[in-house]
Structure 1
């Protein structure tokens, strides 16, 4: 990277951290530290909610997902608008009426303390793991840029976020996320424009769209009922709705964002603002990934986007085999360029697609063969390069200055989501686990200091998770898988609390424990795509609680 790139990157991140610390220097009460000043306007809430969800994983993994698999991933978000409407009508009025600090406080008043603690623990497990992944993702970026070991980068990124999160709590998270979202939007639009301007002169946006469509990258809707397909309209509308209901309605990292508003209406407007922008934003990020794919149809792409693979393979005994695969890939890509040239003359889209399907099938075999060879020769090097696609493009094809801006985008996203998560983890630990279970609960400055210490501890745990987290199939999928294993169960507990007044606390507690064991078994048994785990967990805990409650009632009635 050039000096100007480093300057832009460091100035952007330094400003965000410094601004967060300075703006919240007057936070002196536990109430303000945990809940903010409860004066956050609706638009700031909307941006804060969006920034919490849009982690570095979004900007690292989503373009790579689109590059290899197309834009079908957008179906994952189709359930979001419906979920937000339900949350606005049911969840928010109740939370604001009860003036709770966390979502789980309500469960004690409805059921009992053990149910509250169990639900809080389930949240802490899944969010603690996910927070480690959100730190790990930007560390990958910096490891590529700097060549530093991942473990040290995990520590650096984690400490950077901890500084202002510990300093100002909820208020620090909220005030910095506005700047972070501004950087994110500016950077992604700039990247899109640079990609478009870098295409050949005769490739218009319409023609780029046609080429993407011919390569099966613009298939937005999949109506298949095949449960092996992860992303269909059914998984998005059904599984996605359950996931979004649980995430935005019961996950403290999100609930804490809109609890900082001054009224129910401000919270509702903030969430609706997020719902209106979120799906278009994800569509745009995916389309940026598709545009990167189109860019590499006219520019040479590496056999693997992970630079460590090239080093390992060229220094191995199978370097000649790897070189042969690279030459084969180049020849196939040249064949595609010839097909595109012929298409410019004939405009025959049907013929274009049939020819591309044949070449793409050969490219798929070439990729699978190379991945198998990498795993055989260098098993410790990550062969799955989806998360490296966008960063490779940034580092090799953006002009000076913009590299620093795009890296600032990724790191800003990491900081915004990680800060929210650490803030929520600390709040839940103190409010739901510590305070109700000690003889003399902390008050005033002692409570604020305890929350700061807990934030620091969770930061250290998240860094530890980041240091031991392996790359999965795709980072954005890993985070959603972790959530799906726990979210359905948590959502079911809340729905019972809202709508099934006759079901008792013991029935819910037992049902939740059984459900969690079953969901873990279903996932590791690979019986369902992970999005369906949200619906299964939610419905399962409701049905089990209902029948356990019915059994107990009948038992007492007959005794």
Structure 2
């Protein structure tokens, strides 16, 4: 395993950088309106094609948390972690058919604007602040940290902070051009991401094949992995019993078997893809047909993502088990970068380019969303109500720079403990504290005309409080097992001492919080008018789909069904 880069690696990476930078600059110069038009700067209104929307969704979604975090969970738990990607494909179908028509019909450009239009300014302001904090201190920081860790692991391991700054500057250059530049450069980014990711997976499987004496055959390597680690190719974990090992319990805590499909898995995906400024922003400036096609194209691409981001992690596990791979500190988050160390000259540069593409596109999209929410939903409404278009665009750019600086400060020495949690789990768990309340507000706000603003506030508070309660206190207060949940023992370091603590799988916590939040919101709304004056006007025609859209939906579902039948 070689961590040194040669001239071919640098050349491949520089070609990638020059291609993205020059194309982004060309798009920027071609669309000069983006300098002063807020809708164009923040939304690329009307200019993104369906393939640009779909590519941008994937490029923004697949980042360090997948390449590093999901690959790490592949190393730890196996193919079960693919549920996040494959259920996302179904979630995107739901978003395309039912959510996007509501947004576009009501001219919704930001998620806080949705809440203001449907409920009131109080709900919108609370959630704007929530989203800004979440995007900066959970998403932005984790992308920066995990991305720097991944690329640093490919070289000599001594340039973490330099790489972190480089990623921030690269993403800044793209983000300052606005959503149009982000969206169209993401087409290149996702191409590099997929090509480089597939090359890495192919060579990871080839290394496994060679290790088992089967020659340089990727298919033979995959077959060897199936035989050597069958437990890593099981989608549904069994519920732990009295004789279950601690390792299997730890896996179940992250991916709680069939129960997660009736609980948090849907909440994670519907909230992320349907109620998330960072994601929905790409489609909000398009017409309905273009937006739907782009979203469904992204859903189809999601079926491929576990091949790129998860299989290398399982390959790393097989090699590690047989003593052919060393992980820095034994951390699962180093699995992907450890596998990249096997790549030959040139291909290592391509893989670094793929990682960089994933990280930079996600960073650019994230800071643009932070900028959009701050400028349109905080600055314009509460700080400078008379701000003109040009002032708002420059305020948005300033917000981009500030967000990146804050992200760097908090990731410089991993002040948030991202590495100790495991990158992917860290993001899912802490995002999950507000997901149940947010999803309940959006679902009831869209499709139940009786939902009130008071119910929205009550739901937001209930969802957050219950998530914290079930995650942190329920086993001590309500016991380790009851009709709602089962808590399991795990080991944590408390005040320097290794201690056994009881924990409920966080996806189950999210499901319980969502259930009770819905009950609270319905109960509060029943005390209001039968039809809220702010309810959206819906009609069946909004949700009809064309035959071409239906064909894409059916193709996605058939492939997904086959995958679950194979690996159940």
Higher Cα Rg, which structure: 1
**Separation in structure 2 between the aligned mates of residue 439 and residue 410 of structure 1, nearest angstrom:** 39
Residue 280 of structure 1 deviates from its aligned partner by 3.0
2:178 alignment partner, SS class: helix
2:92 alignment partner, SS class: helix
- Aligned mate of 1:387, from 326, 333, 341: 333
Task: Classify 1:211/1:196 alpha carbon distance in 2 versus 1 (closer, same or farther; 3 Å).
Answer: closer
Q: Is 1:446 matched up with 2:391?
A: yes
Which residue number in structure 1 is paired with residue 214 of structure 2? 202
Which residue number in structure 1 is paired with residue 199 of structure 2? 190
Which residue number in structure 2 is paired with residue 341 of structure 1? none
Which residue number in structure 2 is paired with residue 165 of structure 1? 175
Give the unaligned 5+ runs of structure 1. Answer: 307-382, 554-559
Contact 2:429 2:506 in 1 (8 A): yes
**Separation in structure 2 between the aligned mates of residue 65 and residue 189 of structure 1, nearest angstrom:** 19
1:257 alignment partner, SS class: coil
Contact 1:492 1:537 in 2 (8 A): no
Which residue number in structure 2 is paired with residue 430 of structure 1? 375
Q: Is 1:93 matched up with 2:62?
A: no
**Separation in structure 1 between the aligned mates of residue 312 and residue 300 of structure 2, nearest angstrom:** 20
Which residue number in structure 2 is paired with residue 2 of structure 1? 6
Contact 2:228 2:318 in 1 (8 A): no
1:222 alignment partner, SS class: coil
- Aligned mate of 1:59, from 47, 61, 67: 67
Which residue number in structure 2 is paired with residue 156 of structure 1? 166
Give the unaligned 5+ runs of structure 2. Answer: 241-248, 474-501, 530-568
**Separation in structure 2 between the aligned mates of residue 275 and residue 225 of structure 1, nearest angstrom:** 30
**TM-score normalised over the length of structure 1:** 0.78
Which residue number in structure 2 is paired with residue 274 of structure 1? 298
**Separation in structure 1 between the aligned mates of residue 373 and residue 144 of structure 2, nearest angstrom:** 20
**Separation in structure 2 between the aligned mates of residue 438 and residue 194 of structure 1, nearest angstrom:** 54
- Aligned mate of 1:177, from 168, 180, 186: 186
Residue 482 of structure 1 deviates from its aligned partner by 2.1
**Separation in structure 1 between the aligned mates of residue 74 and residue 259 of structure 2, nearest angstrom:** 20
2:97 alignment partner, SS class: helix
Q: Is 1:83 matched up with 2:91?
A: yes
Residue 185 of structure 1 deviates from its aligned partner by 1.1
- Aligned mate of 1:516, from 464, 478, 482: 464
Q: CA offsets, 1:114-150, max 9 Å, x none? A: 1111122222222222111101112113433244353
Contact 1:485 1:534 in 2 (8 A): yes
With CA pairs under 8 Å and 6+ residues apart, which has the higher RCO, 1 or 2?
1
Contact 2:13 2:350 in 1 (8 A): yes
Q: Is 1:126 matched up with 2:72?
A: no
**TM-score normalised over the length of structure 2:** 0.77
Q: CA offsets, 1:73-130, max 9 Å, x none? A: 1123343233223212221111111222212212212211011111222222222221
Which residue number in structure 2 is paired with residue 309 of structure 1? none
**Separation in structure 1 between the aligned mates of residue 339 and residue 12 of structure 2, nearest angstrom:** 18
Superposed CA RMSD in Å reads 2.5
1:281-430 mapped onto 2 (5 Å cutoff): 281-295=305-319, 300-302=324-326, 305-306=327-328, 383-395=329-341, 397-430=342-375
Contact 2:455 2:522 in 1 (8 A): yes
**Separation in structure 2 between the aligned mates of residue 81 and residue 508 of structure 1, nearest angstrom:** 28
